[in-house]
Amino acid sequence: MFAYNAKLAFKSLNDRPSLTVLMVAAIAVGLGLFMTMLTLGHQSGKIPIPHISKQIHLIQLDNREVTADDAENFTDMVDLTYQDANNLLNMDIAGAEQALTWNTYGILNVEEQDIQPQRSSVVATNHAFFNMFEVPFLYGKGWDSDADQLGQAVIVLTKDSNDYLFGGINSVGQQVRLNTQVLTVIGVLDDWFLARKFYDRSYSQARPDQALIPSNFAFNNDLPRNARFDCWSTTTNPRKFTTNYLTELKTSECAWITFWAKLPNNTKDDYQAQLGQYIESQKNLGRFPRENQYFLTNINDQLSIIGSMGGRQQMLGMISYMFFAVCLINAVSILLAKFMRRTKEVSLRRALGAKKRTILQQHLIEVIFIGVIGGLFGIAFTYLGLQAMLRVSLYASDYTQTAADLMPYHRMDWEMVMMAFSVSVGCTLLVGLYPIWRICNVSPASQLKAQ
Amino acid sequence: MLKMENVSKIYRTNLIETHALRKVDLHIGAGEFVSVTGPSGSGKTTFLNLAGLLETFEEGDFYLDGQNVKGLNDNQLSELRNEKIGFIFQSFNLLPELPLFDNVDVPLRYRGFNAKERKERIENALEIVGLSSRMQHLPTQLSGGQQQRVAIARAIAGQPKFLLADEPTGNLDSLMAQQVMELLEKINQQGTTIIMVTHDDQLARRAHRNIQIFDGQVSDLALDQTDVLIKAG
């Protein structure tokens, strides 16, 4: 009976094909827009390094003046000063890995090769960065703690940089020039996709920076500091610390270093206790005038607080949901009209012995057919929609980001393809229930008398 | 075979209550050919719908082939309808987009016969009505009389015990009507009980028995009495 009903359902789709096309088009266009926005939200809402994201915490200490506003969450709080970052690194807290990051920049160049020098964004960090964030390596590895201590002239390149500077070969042991400094390549990263670039707190969709160097090397060579300086107890303009006054910066109360701690299970309480003790000890030195306040915020909470979708996307999302609803209402109106044209046939079939559930099955199959076909075309429309949104995003970023940067956020994965099918079939079934109910309740005697 | 005891059917709206059938007592035996006559709006079609299990009734008992159908649910009624009753309608009610073969196939599908058995039954039924050479034709390619013969083939393909015919010749000219009537008589002679609603007194007289319905009340007349009424009237 299923095969017979499927055959009837298929035949019905061919009956008045223009109506079928209209229904499928309504569903496909609505679904396409809906899934475009859902995919954007899904991709940009992904948590980076999800298996350890709850263990990795941003550490912030409140060294501000007494009159400063209370902070509700990490977004209102300052980062770490140079001295606090170094003190915490030296505390060697059991079970915790700690990394600091700050951003610098310079001109990357390879002397012997005939390539254009490249202005590059560079992360200054310590050796724990690679292990803590599970950074994938294509060649070589990160530096060790000795290199941190000594501020060795070593560099880790990203895959893109290595491709640009060395044509993609294993460049470990080669030398590159960062501004006037010569550094030895000790590692090359593999493709490292982060759903959000969290480690510099930009939470952007940009790809990782071009290179990583030891923080102490950057300090020793007074590389420019690309940071926001939250300073107090100073009457000078904090912006001067960007390129100068390093000695003064190191002892200032300017907070600007991003600090991370990986705290496996059961170590968070100990870590917090030690932070408290540290703040108390610093109070004795006349620092930390406010109450004992600090923030430990894991990656999930950070993303949750800042929100996974921007205002523009949220607005487009709302519009797409409403548009999909309108399209579904259109589709169901056509479906209802199509089904009700068939009351005489259904009445006849009921008279000839068809049970209600047989009629139900036939029409359910037809609705599922429409949902599946709508889903297929909807996926095609979603692809087009994502391509269009990619171009909008490129334009919105003033082309500071590349298509390759943004592509991961504008791509349907299998999860979203399955979701598209489920949404299409599910919603079509849902809105199709009323027409199906109406047709199933056609009385067998109602339409058989000659008109 | 078909027995109604005090069966009543009332149509209700918010304002009006219409007694379509009033306390019908009737017995139709196996193999009978019964005609049902009466003026328009008298309840003929309602009677046929009740007899064909297309509608339910409020009062009384109705035994079809020995089984009381009162209180049966929709599924049970559908099965009973499919198995025991064949329908012939004035307007044929063929599915225009299906060839004759598939039209006759419809009730057999719902009966659950396998493909081989369905094919045999369809070919046999179309053979009986003389249309076996036109199995793949669409109904629109046939004359009215031929279409009604297809409807008869569909009705008899499942070999039901009852054929219910609602003015089967109403849309046909006299020659076609004659042919259809002869076909029904032939089917009746093979043992199928036929209940036929008609406005045509000539055709009604060809039945074994005539039931007249006036204002929802059934008068069960022997054929000779009907003759008297016709002559008187």
CATH of domain B30-54+72-232: 3.40.50.300
**Strand bridging mode A211-214 / A118-125:** parallel
Contact A15 B112 (CB under 8 A): no
How far apart are the C-alpha atoms of A377 and A27, rounded to whole Å? 9
Q: What is the DSSP string of A87-137?
A: HHHHH--TT-EEEEEEEEEEEEE-TTS----EEEEEEEE-THHHHHTT--E
pLDDT for position A329 = 92
The helix (run of H) or strand (run of E) holding residue A9 is helix A2-14
pLDDT for position B228 = 40
Q: Which residues in chain A have their CB less than 8 angstroms from residue B81's CB? A: 351-353, 444
**Strand bridging mode A175-178 / A97-109:** antiparallel
Domain residue ranges of chain A, discontinuous segments joined by +: 2-45+309-440, 56-306
The per-residue pLDDT for range A26-54, each reduced to its tens digit, is: 999 999 999 998 888 877 777 888 889 89
Q: Average pLDDT over chain A, rounded to whole?
A: 88
Residue pairs between chains A and B whose CB atoms are closer than 8 Å: 69
Which pair of structure tokens corresponds to residue A393?
């995003």
Contact B93 A348 (CB under 8 A): yes
Which pair of structure tokens corresponds to residue B219?
């008068």
Mean pLDDT along residues A371-378: 93
Domain residue ranges of chain B, discontinuous segments joined by +: 30-54+72-232
How far apart are the C-alpha atoms of A111 and A109, rounded to whole Å? 6
Nearest-by-Cβ selection for B54 from A4, A357, A444: A444
The per-residue pLDDT for range A66-121, each reduced to its tens digit, is: 888 888 888 888 999 999 999 999 887 777 899 999 999 999 999 877 888 989 99
Distance from CA of A418 to the nearest CA of B (A): 35
> CB-based contact (8 Å) between B76 and chain A?
no
Residue B199 pLDDT grade (very low, low, confident, very high; cuts 50, 70, 90) = confident
Distance from CA of A348 to the nearest CA of B (A): 7
How far apart are the C-alpha atoms of A173 and A190, rounded to whole Å? 17
pLDDT for position A449 = 67
Asked if residue A131 has pLDDT above 80, the reply is yes
Q: How many CA atoms lie within 13 A of A154 on its CB side?
A: 23
Residue A1 pLDDT grade (very low, low, confident, very high; cuts 50, 70, 90) = confident
* Torsion angle (degrees, nearest 10) of CA A93, A98, A100, A101: -170
Nearest chain A residue to B92 by CA: give it. Answer: A450
pLDDT for position A67 = 84
The per-residue pLDDT for range B43-81, each reduced to its tens digit, is: 888 899 999 999 888 889 999 998 999 989 999 999 999
Nearest-by-Cβ selection for A449 from B45, B79, B106: B45
How far apart are the C-alpha atoms of A267 and A95, rounded to whole Å? 7
Q: Which residues in chain B have their CB less than 8 angstroms from residue A4's CB? A: 109
Q: CA triplet A211, A212, A216: central angle to 5 degrees? A: 140
Mean pLDDT along residues A362-390: 93
Q: Is B136 exposed, middle or buried (0-12, 13-18, 19+ CB in 10 A)?
A: exposed
Contacts of B152 (CB under 8 A, 6+ apart): B88, B129, B168, B180, B183, B184, B187
Which pair of structure tokens corresponds to residue A252?
């200032």
ipTM here: 0.90
Q: For A37-46, A258-267, A389-398, B11-20, which range has the lowest pLDDT when averaged over its residues?
A: A37-46
This prediction has a pTM of 0.72
Residue A233 pLDDT grade (very low, low, confident, very high; cuts 50, 70, 90) = low
Place of tokens 């310079």: A106
The per-residue pLDDT for range A89-102, each reduced to its tens digit, is: 988 777 789 999 99
Nearest chain A residue to B52 by CA: give it. Answer: A351
Q: Is A440 exposed, middle or buried (0-12, 13-18, 19+ CB in 10 A)?
A: buried
Instruction: Tell me the CA distances in angstroms from B89 to B49, B101, B165, one per residue in order.
Output: 11, 18, 6
Query: When comparing pLDDT for A48 and B125, which is higher?
Result: B125
Q: How many CA atoms lie within 13 A of A2 on its CB side?
A: 0
Q: CA triplet B185, B191, B194: central angle to 5 degrees? A: 55
pLDDT for position B222 = 56
| Cβ atoms of A295 and A73 closer than 8 Å | yes
Query: When comparing pLDDT for A310 and A405, which is higher?
Result: A405
Asked if residue A311 has pLDDT above 70, the reply is no
* % of chain A with per-residue pLDDT over 90: 50
pLDDT for position B40 = 86
> CB-based contact (8 Å) between B49 and chain A?
yes
How far apart are the C-alpha atoms of A126 and A120, rounded to whole Å? 19
pLDDT for position B53 = 92
Asked if residue A134 has pLDDT above 90, the reply is yes
Contact A352 B106 (CB under 8 A): yes
Place of tokens 């003759």: B227
Q: Which residues in chain A have their CB less than 8 angstroms from residue B97's CB? A: 11, 15
The per-residue pLDDT for range B134-158, each reduced to its tens digit, is: 999 999 999 988 999 999 999 999 9
DSSP state of A206: P
Distance from CA of A25 to the nearest CA of B (A): 25
Mean pLDDT along residues A404-408: 80
pLDDT for position A22 = 93
Asked if residue A428 has pLDDT above 80, the reply is yes
The helix (run of H) or strand (run of E) holding residue B33 is strand B33-37
pLDDT for position B225 = 46
Asked if residue B232 has pLDDT above 50, the reply is no
pLDDT for position A312 = 67
Mean pLDDT along residues B186-202: 91
Contact A450 B81 (CB under 8 A): no
